[in-house]
């Protein structure tokens, strides 16, 4: 320990000595500058007549006086407190003030002293210009040296797309940053009036479509898109052009975040999923949702999952009387509790670790709190996995929904909102068929009771647990390959916050018995997503990172549908929300099938369950191939 302390103290002493040496060197330079400036001033004032120069005792005393006054003003204006390598306009202004004040003091002394009456008056105009020039030149030279030395070790040469306010702030902040990670080499913007002009000494090279030429010319390592307020469709087009360079792409935070100092300008972020898909943000009608949720007791099942947790985040903003969150995953429940309690400490939140199939636990919850609105997001969603686990799929997706729906009726819940999926339309898998069976149950129960049963159906949500994007990113991080099931596989995609906003709107406007279908936009090829992610990372698809097609998995189909051909789809007053008229069934016959289903669930009879599921959902066409290797799953109610 003593050795370490000695080494530590030795290093500190060395640093102090080096610092003193630097200060001493600066002082010597400034003294030299004062002497040289004084001599040059006399030479210029005497019209370069060197014979007129006469270094007498008087002139030496004048020089010493100048030195004393000048150094005193430096001290007064704290010129030496600034670090030389970070000299800026502020330091130059200090030097200017010190030189002018010293000049005025010297003028006064020489004017009132008869000893100095032979000094030309022009000296007092020439001297401050020379001394300011010498001192400023030295400090600018030192700063330029350090900047050049640091930029020679920079990690990335950056091309900037966009020449607006965000680009100006970005470049300005980079110039001030000590640890220079990024070095801006050129700007591209479609505004021709900016071409061949500079923004903080960075040239606007040309239009955005010239980025390929610019990337080669300036040896770029990265592209930064400085267009934080651009519309999604335009951003998607720019990304298409930018990604052809094969360079990694980053974007700036929003201007609001930058100006409010929430995010550092140098904290570049990955291209978001919204930008990748070119989806415009939806117009969210808060008023109708606020009327539906404010001061209500709201129950959210699956509240720790991707959709359920986002519903919790959005519902709590409308000041519900109480928020009840149910999830069977301990970790998911803990995470959403931790987040909501930190962000909304004043809200009344109750969390329950339980399954939606636990009859006594769920009924106790309904009896105790009597919720006004139920958002049922709990479900098993993994298509290939559920193909061989029909018992668990039926128990959770159908029986769990049936139990919640019946308890909602018993305890006079006003609205029951079921989150469904596009896989429930013409289902070819167990997951979709069980969700469709749950849809049919809720729709037809609505006609028997006062509780309003509303179904909201949408496609895949990007970034959810088990979705392709997180899996692709993991594969990309490992260096590939990225696996896609089929080159023609397409899916509808929506962002989780967007989907939940539309769920809240649909539930607010629903009156019971409807299936609301969310406008998912155009279907996207999974291969396209994989190629875009590879390109955004600065790699070339099929060359740097391969894409391997593994074949369709059990229960999968190439494309999904949002509504059945027999469902009449009609527009609503809400943008991006459509209403589908439900198909009625014989309630008595349906109930008999359900009783048979519950009996076979208890007996774990998978063969009978498949037949019953086909009876409940006539459009269900299984693509399953039976396998002797199939493992039995225990299931009980």
Q: What is the DSSP string of 407-473?
A: HHHHTT-SEEEEEEEGGGSS--SHHHHHHHHHHHHHHHHTTTSSSEEEEEEE-EEETSTT-HHHHHH
Q: How many domains does the chain have?
A: 3
Are 500 and 589 in a shared domain? yes
According to the model, what pLDDT value does residue 275 have?
65
Token digits for 619?
Answer: 């459009």
What are 539-597's pLDDT values in tens digits? 778 888 889 888 887 777 776 766 666 666 778 877 778 887 767 778 888 888 888 88
What are 523-540's pLDDT values in tens digits? 788 888 888 888 777 777
Among 121, 149, 177, the domain boundary falls at: 149
- Between 14 and 251, residue with greater pLDDT: 251
Are 506 and 601 in a shared domain? yes
Mean pLDDT check: name the lowest of 24-38, 362-376, 405-419, 540-554.
24-38
Distance CA 521, CA 186 (A): 36
- 249 DSSP β-pair partners: 223
Distance CA 594, CA 508 (A): 30
- Between 136 and 280, residue with greater pLDDT: 136
Distance CA 615, CA 613 (A): 5
Q: Tell me how far apart the terminal alpha carbons of the chain are, to the nearest angstrom.
A: 66
Among 277, 307, 330, the domain boundary falls at: 277
Q: Long-range contacts made by residues 92-101, C-beta under 8 angstroms, separation at least 24?
A: 92/136, 92/139, 95/132, 95/135, 95/136, 95/139, 96/132, 97/73, 98/70, 98/73, 98/74, 99/70, 99/73, 99/128, 99/131, 99/132, 99/135, 100/128, 101/73, 101/76, 101/77
Residue 578, φ and ψ in degrees, nearest 5:
-115, 155
Are 135 and 163 in a shared domain? no
Q: Three-class SS of residue 268?
A: coil
Are 314 and 423 in a shared domain? yes
Residue 182 lies in a domain: yes
Q: For the chain, what is the mean pLDDT?
A: 79
Return the number of other C-beta atoms located less than 10 Å from residue 564's C-beta. Answer: 16
Distance CA 27, CA 100 (A): 19
According to the model, what pLDDT value does residue 45 have?
67
Q: What is the mean pLDDT of residues 232-243?
A: 79
Nearest to 271 by CA among 227, 306, 313: 227
CA quadruple 25, 31, 34, 36: dihedral sign: negative
What are 146-157's pLDDT values in tens digits? 555 554 444 678
Residue 414 clears pLDDT 50, i.e. is over it: yes
What are 452-464's pLDDT values in tens digits? 999 998 877 766 6
Are 360 and 505 in a shared domain? yes
The reported pTM is: 0.67
Range of the domain at 66: 2-149
Find the radius of gyration of the CA atoms of the chain: 37
Nearest to 93 by CA among 43, 45, 160, 139: 139
Catalytic residues: 423
Are 11 and 107 in a shared domain? yes
Residue 527 lies in a domain: no
Residue 624 lies in a domain: no
CA count, 13 A, side-chain hemisphere, 469:
21
What are 319-329's pLDDT values in tens digits? 999 999 999 99
According to the model, what pLDDT value does residue 629 have?
37
How would you classify residue 278: left for phi > 0, otherwise alpha for psi between -120 and 50, otherwise beta? Answer: left
Residue 532 lies in a domain: no
Q: What is the mean pLDDT of residues 491-519?
A: 85
Q: For 511-542, b where at least 16 C-beta lie within 10 A, e where not — what string?
A: ebbbbbbbbbeebbbbbebbbbbbbbbbbebe
Are 395 and 441 in a shared domain? yes
Characterize the bridge pairing of strands 156-161 and 222-225: parallel
Residue 625 clears pLDDT 50, i.e. is over it: no
Nearest to 110 by CA among 78, 69, 72, 145: 69
What are 435-479's pLDDT values in tens digits? 999 999 999 999 899 999 999 988 777 666 666 777 888 888 888
In this structure, what CATH number is given to the domain that contains residue 183?
3.40.50.720
Are 433 and 306 in a shared domain? yes
The helix or strand, by DSSP H or E, that contains position 401, with its residue range, turns out to be helix 400-410
List the beta strands (DSSP E) in 132-217.
Answer: 156-161, 182-188, 198-199, 202-206
Among 149, 174, 195, the domain boundary falls at: 149
Return the number of other C-beta atoms located less than 10 Å from residue 280's C-beta. Answer: 12
According to the model, what pLDDT value does residue 630 have?
39
Nearest to 68 by CA among 118, 34, 115: 34
Token digits for 425?
Answer: 């339309």
How large a percentage of the chain has pLDDT more than 90?
Answer: 22
pLDDT tier at 67 (50, 70, 90 boundaries)? confident
Token digits for 531?
Answer: 């190629």
According to the model, what pLDDT value does residue 375 have?
96
Question: Under a CB-based contact definition with an 8 Å cutoff, are residues 432 and 466 in contact?
Answer: no
| Residue appearing with tokens 């009608």 | 285
Are 114 and 198 in a shared domain? no
Question: Under a CB-based contact definition with an 8 Å cutoff, are residues 170 and 142 in contact?
Answer: no
According to the model, what pLDDT value does residue 178 have?
58
Residue 530 lies in a domain: no
pLDDT tier at 637 (50, 70, 90 boundaries)? very low
Return the number of other C-beta atoms located less than 10 Å from residue 410's C-beta. Answer: 13
Residue 212 lies in a domain: yes
Residue 542 lies in a domain: no
According to the model, what pLDDT value does residue 370 have?
95
According to the model, what pLDDT value does residue 325 have?
95
Are 102 and 72 in a shared domain? yes
Characterize the bridge pairing of strands 198-199 and 202-206: antiparallel
Nearest to 458 by CA among 376, 398, 519: 519
Are 377 and 306 in a shared domain? yes
Nearest to 471 by CA among 530, 523, 520: 530
According to the model, what pLDDT value does residue 32 have?
77
Nearest to 22 by CA among 99, 94, 85, 92: 85
Are 59 and 200 in a shared domain? no
Q: What is the mean pLDDT of residues 19-43?
A: 70
Residue 390 lies in a domain: yes
């Amino acid at each position: 320990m003593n050795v370490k302390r000695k080494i530590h103290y030795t290093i500190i002493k060395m640093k102090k000595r080096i610092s003193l040496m630097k200060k001493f060197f600066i002082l010597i330079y400034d003294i030299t500058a004062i002497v040289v400036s004084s001599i040059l001033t006399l030479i210029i004032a005497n019209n370069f007549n060197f014979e007129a120069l006469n270094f007498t005792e008087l002139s030496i005393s004048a020089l010493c006086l100048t030195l004393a006054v000048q150094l005193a003003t430096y001290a007064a204006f704290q010129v030496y407190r600034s670090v030389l390598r970070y000299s800026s306009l502020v330091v130059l202004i200090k030097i200017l003030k010190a030189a002018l004040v010293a000049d005025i003091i010297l003028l006064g002394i020489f004017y009132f002293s008869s000893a100095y009456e032979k000094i030309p008056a022009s000296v007092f105009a020439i001297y401050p210009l020379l001394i300011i020039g010498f001192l400023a030149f030295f400090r600018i030279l030192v700063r330029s040296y350090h900047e050049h030395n640091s930029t020679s070790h920079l990690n990335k040469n950056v091309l900037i797309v966009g020449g607006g306010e965000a680009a100006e702030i970005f470049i300005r902040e980079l110039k001030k940053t000590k640890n220079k990670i990024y070095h801006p080499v050129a700007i591209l913007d479609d505004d021709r009036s900016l071409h061949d002009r500079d923004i903080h000494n960075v040239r606007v090279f040309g239009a955005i479509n010239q980025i390929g030429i610019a990337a080669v010319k300036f040896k770029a390592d990265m592209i930064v898109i400085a267009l934080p307020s651009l519309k999604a469709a335009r951003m998607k087009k720019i990304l298409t052009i930018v990604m052809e360079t094969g360079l990694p792409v980053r974007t700036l935070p929003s201007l609001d975040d930058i100006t409010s100092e929430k995010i550092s300008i140098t904290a570049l972020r990955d291209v978001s999923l919204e930008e990748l898909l070119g989806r415009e943000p939806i117009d969210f009608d808060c008023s109708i949702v606020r009327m539906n949720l404010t001061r209500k007791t709201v129950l959210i099942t699956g509240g720790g999952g991707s959709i359920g947790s986002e519903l919790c985040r959005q519902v709590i903003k409308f000041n519900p009387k109480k928020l009840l969150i149910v999830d069977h995953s301990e970790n998911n429940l803990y995470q959403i509790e931790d987040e909501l309690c930190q962000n909304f400490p004043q809200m009344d939140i109750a969390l329950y670790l339980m399954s939606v199939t636990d009859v006594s636990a769920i009924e106790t919850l309904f009896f105790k709190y009597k919720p006004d609105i139920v958002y049922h997001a709990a479900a098993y969603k993994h298509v290939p996995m559920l193909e061989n686990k029909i018992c668990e799929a039926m128990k959770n997706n159908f029986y769990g929904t049936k139990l919640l729906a019946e308890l909602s009726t018993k305890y006079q819940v006003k609205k029951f909102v079921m989150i469904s999926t596009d896989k429930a339309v013409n289902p070819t898998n167990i997951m979709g068929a069980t969700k469709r069976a749950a849809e049919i149950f809720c729709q037809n129960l609505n006609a028997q009771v006062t509780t309003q049963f509303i179904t909201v159906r949408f496609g895949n949500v990007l970034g959810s647990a088990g979705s392709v994007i997180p899996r692709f990113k993991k594969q990309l991080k490992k260096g590939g390959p990225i696996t896609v099931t089929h080159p023609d596989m397409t899916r509808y995609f929506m962002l989780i916050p967007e989907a939940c906003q539309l769920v809240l709107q649909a539930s607010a406007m629903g009156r019971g018995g409807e299936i609301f279908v969310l406008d998912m936009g155009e279907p996207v090829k999974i291969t396209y997503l994989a190629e875009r992610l590879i390109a955004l990372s600065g790699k070339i698809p099929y060359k740097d990172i391969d894409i391997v097609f593994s074949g369709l998995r059990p229960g999968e189909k190439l494309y999904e549908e949002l509504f059945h051909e027999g469902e009449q789809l009609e527009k609503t007053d809400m943008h991006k929300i459509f209403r589908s008229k439900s198909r009625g069934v014989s309630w008595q016959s349906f109930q008999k099938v359900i009783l048979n289903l519950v009996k076979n669930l208890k007996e774990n009879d998978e063969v009978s369950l498949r037949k019953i599921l086909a009876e409940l959902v006539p459009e269900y066409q299984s693509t399953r191939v039976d396998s002797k290797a199939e493992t039995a799953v225990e299931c009980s109610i």
